[in-house]
Structure 1
């Protein structure tokens, strides 16, 4: 006869059932979080599209606006899926792999793995769309180098000026412009991290230190269970969580190191601004039709095309505060600005730029019409240089500008509340936002894309080393594309000779 059951004694829960319920709860949370955030970021994409419409001076909605909204929305959804998938993978890695007392496979239902991998693949595809969109914008930026140097007499170029009394004007050297353009060309693919070191560091943790053992379905590493027969079975969710967390974590450490390195040792972005000042060259960058960035490089000494002695004297006078400050406004030091141009100014800019002859390579003087094309480009270059310099000097009242600070809400939302109708607006920009026209300003997008590329390849072939190798190839291809077409765009927009740009 069976003993009567005691209703006051509770039966211990089945560990397998507990883990299974936890997995069902996780899938529900992932779907709910992704759905809610994807709906919310639609408002952010609408805001970005409205800002883009104002910056391009688009009068009425058209297919371009719809297409731009879809591109912005793809990038925002990609960020949401990156957040959700990385958080889920990290949760499975830290929580489930800690349940050493539960002899259960993770997850119990293989269908849940497929569901999660679908999220990862979608995040990777949308990240690729976001990266290509940013790449297209960077490869179409209008760039022009404004040379402030004025012709000098032969007498004024000597140390004393008394030994030579010739009054012939000496031509302005173009080498300063080429030097600044070459520095900008080299900055186009500079990143805040070292991509090769990133791959090697991730592979070091995964393979050399044996972190890959924590990606198996069993709650114990293979090294602690040598009697297991056959190859270990991996959990795609945990495998992704480990690889993505390592990649993003090491990337974040590199970014933090770069911040301290730039403060203590060398900051290439700020050094470029200093180079512009020493070269007497300003840079205008227009990422959108009526919005861009301006680097004020006008020399406080009046001239930069000089000899070593005079250059050293100028540097000494500036170090001892015996001359003016480098800022655009008197008694200020701010040299970088975000610019919102009026449609009248942009129309005049376009009229001068239309006179540029299309030239992506060096013109051959032996070709028919090459001489006239070359002269046309020279005239157009000088016309553009004179026009933009006169704009900065407030020569044209109908195309004037004023300088102001951005409101905190404007900086947060990434939109300008004031529309430049009669006058253009120069916004003080101490953060050097012109780096948005470079790889440097989009490190978060590049880092997350590389991470998901690495993880997707690994999920497909179950080989971390092969994933690292293909990630290196992918990074090299994108860097070559950005460098090659960025150089072509720089040559055409600035009207500089390709033979002098490396």
Structure 2
């Protein structure tokens, strides 16, 4: 239970002047730190905007570019305010509670409002950061207050490399006919890969429910909430002083971030030793003979090369086991896109000519979220149109990977160290597209998995802002859980719809 409030701890007369000056100095330091860092991150926002402009193949500096810069800058300033406020809260928590005698007291209530304003501004800017998809504003779609809104409109397509097998038939006399029958290619492999992709869209590096329970365990069960009282540690037995918003925020945010960081570290070791869903998806693509193209920006995205080294994936159990055994014993080619390599994941910068052809084929797709027999009359014709468009897209992308089109060819290279650090590509794909080797599996950037730091910081701010309003950690944890569940369901629902539309996979096979 939260302790009732009471008058603040008295300050000795000889300390009043010193304390007042120190409080004014601390407020000045916070303002200065936030201002200086906000100016520094402006350069980072300019770099992000320039990179985004190139990846969108936009030459002109228009209102959309300016709006994109504003959104990037809002997100960077939010990160600055989080850094400054958490550091300030942790400073007051340790300095004030560690003193044996009253030599430093907390800022006065009207001065703490200045700090609370910073936290609320950080939360508001985080909300604006979560709507950094300019295409969403162009389409006038509902903004879900989430940075990963771009994931709901990412272009995705599964390239099926399987080709029909020929089967020789025999006559009654036992001789083989010259005519050969083609066995149809099964769609089940594509459905299976699409379903696995749908399932990992909302996978995170931490367990949100465990995160909330662990934080509440320390705050309530172990009585860490007593550290948020205005009295130095240990609290006085005579009366109960009121809470300090700065110390309360410092304790809650530090606990939340530390437990989240420990979960991330545990996940790293768990994925190395036990189970890694992201890398397993790449292996599944290779076994299924399916590649994946992901385009979060118009001319930039990710490619997962899943072409089977055995030529076919529609096979029986015996042949599949033999194929896997041959791979384990290095008796066949490697899985990489280039001969003699095993790199299967790439960042891709597409030429405008290739993207234009991609858009022309995609325009033939029509929205379809349910079975044709349950839609309006005439849907059968649209379904046949989608089938033709699907095969055209599959043939086109497969031929591009096989270097069939000289005017839309590509080459493979490594990114420079400076390109990786800055997050920008120095070479522009004018005549040929560029495939950058990517051993870090950066395609997770279009999943929840690749934005854990953003999700973790937002959950921290949400929990603390709710606690500012109600001064109840349990209620803040409950509302944070509801918020997490809501956004996860929104991401899953609309991400599933986008997957169905962009890949033409039947929604009934996705769970």
> TM-score by structure 2 length?
0.91
User: What is the aligned counterpart of 1:145 among 158, 163, 167?
Assistant: 158
State the SS of the aligned residue for 1:499. helix
Indicate the residue corresponding to 1:460 in structure 2.
Answer: 469
Shift of 1:100: 2.8
- Asked if 2 retains the 8 angstrom alpha-carbon contact of 1:192 and 1:254, the reply is yes
**Does structure 1 residue 402 correspond to structure 2 residue 411?**
yes
Indicate the residue corresponding to 2:110 in structure 1.
Answer: 111
Indicate the residue corresponding to 2:127 in structure 1.
Answer: 128
Shift of 1:130: 1.6
Shift of 1:104: 6.7
Corresponding pairs, count: 481
Shift of 1:367: 3.6
Question: How many angstroms apart in 1 are the aligned matches of 2:216 and 2:263?
Answer: 16
- Asked if 2 retains the 8 angstrom alpha-carbon contact of 1:355 and 1:377, the reply is yes
Deviation digits for residues 208-244 of structure 1, max 9, x if unmatched? 111100101111344xx3331xx53000000000000
State the SS of the aligned residue for 2:158. strand
Deviation digits for residues 363-386 of structure 1, max 9, x if unmatched? 226742111111000000000000
- Asked if 1 retains the 8 angstrom alpha-carbon contact of 2:215 and 2:256, the reply is yes
- Asked if 1 retains the 8 angstrom alpha-carbon contact of 2:19 and 2:105, the reply is no
Bigger CA drift: 121-130 or 178-187? 121-130
- Describe how 1:351-500 pairs up with structure 2 within 5 A: 351-364=360-373, 367-500=376-509
Question: How many angstroms apart in 1 are the aligned matches of 2:160 and 2:18?
Answer: 72
Deviation digits for residues 65-99 of structure 1, max 9, x if unmatched? 11111110111001100100000000000112212
- Describe how 1:214-363 pairs up with structure 2 within 5 A: 214-222=227-235, 225-228=236-239, 232-363=241-372
State the SS of the aligned residue for 2:102. coil
**Does structure 1 residue 193 correspond to structure 2 residue 202?**
no
Question: How many angstroms apart in 1 are the aligned matches of 2:130 and 2:61?
Answer: 25
Question: How many angstroms apart in 2 are the aligned matches of 1:203 and 1:349?
Answer: 50
Shift of 1:495: 1.2
- Asked if 2 retains the 8 angstrom alpha-carbon contact of 1:356 and 1:377, the reply is yes
User: What is the aligned counterpart of 1:209 among 204, 222, 225?
Assistant: 222
- Describe how 1:67-82 pairs up with structure 2 within 5 A: 67-82=67-82
Question: How many angstroms apart in 2 are the aligned matches of 1:362 and 1:291?
Answer: 32
Deviation digits for residues 442-485 of structure 1, max 9, x if unmatched? 00000000001000000110000000000000000000010000
Question: How many angstroms apart in 2 are the aligned matches of 1:277 and 1:165?
Answer: 33
Question: How many angstroms apart in 2 are the aligned matches of 1:418 and 1:16?
Answer: 62
- Asked if 2 retains the 8 angstrom alpha-carbon contact of 1:154 and 1:164, the reply is no
Question: How many angstroms apart in 2 are the aligned matches of 1:479 and 1:467?
Answer: 18
Question: How many angstroms apart in 2 are the aligned matches of 1:366 and 1:81?
Answer: 50
Specify whether residues 393 and 285 from structure 1 end up closer, same or farther in structure 2 by C-alpha distance, changes over 3 A only: same
Shift of 1:14: 3.1
- Asked if 1 retains the 8 angstrom alpha-carbon contact of 2:98 and 2:233, the reply is no
Question: How many angstroms apart in 1 are the aligned matches of 2:63 and 2:266?
Answer: 43
Question: How many angstroms apart in 1 are the aligned matches of 2:48 and 2:452?
Answer: 19
Specify whether residues 311 and 236 from structure 1 end up closer, same or farther in structure 2 by C-alpha distance, changes over 3 A only: same
Question: How many angstroms apart in 1 are the aligned matches of 2:463 and 2:164?
Answer: 55
Q: Structure 1: any 5+ residue segments left out of the alignment?
A: 1-11, 157-161
Question: How many angstroms apart in 2 are the aligned matches of 1:388 and 1:199?
Answer: 44
RMSD: 1.8
Shift of 1:136: 1.8
Shift of 1:22: 2.5
State the SS of the aligned residue for 1:381. helix
Deviation digits for residues 118-158 of structure 1, max 9, x if unmatched? 000000111122223332211110000000000012359xx
Specify whether residues 116 and 234 from structure 1 end up closer, same or farther in structure 2 by C-alpha distance, changes over 3 A only: same
State the SS of the aligned residue for 1:95. helix
- Asked if 2 retains the 8 angstrom alpha-carbon contact of 1:248 and 1:447, the reply is yes
- Asked if 2 retains the 8 angstrom alpha-carbon contact of 1:154 and 1:165, the reply is no
State the SS of the aligned residue for 1:14. helix
Question: How many angstroms apart in 1 are the aligned matches of 2:24 and 2:263?
Answer: 37
Specify whether residues 364 and 232 from structure 1 end up closer, same or farther in structure 2 by C-alpha distance, changes over 3 A only: farther
Shift of 1:64: 1.0
Deviation digits for residues 383-411 of structure 1, max 9, x if unmatched? 00000000000000000000000000000
Bigger CA drift: 303-312 or 363-372? 363-372
- Asked if 1 retains the 8 angstrom alpha-carbon contact of 2:148 and 2:446, the reply is no
Deviation digits for residues 307-340 of structure 1, max 9, x if unmatched? 0000000001111111000000000000000000
Bigger CA drift: 130-139 or 212-221? 130-139
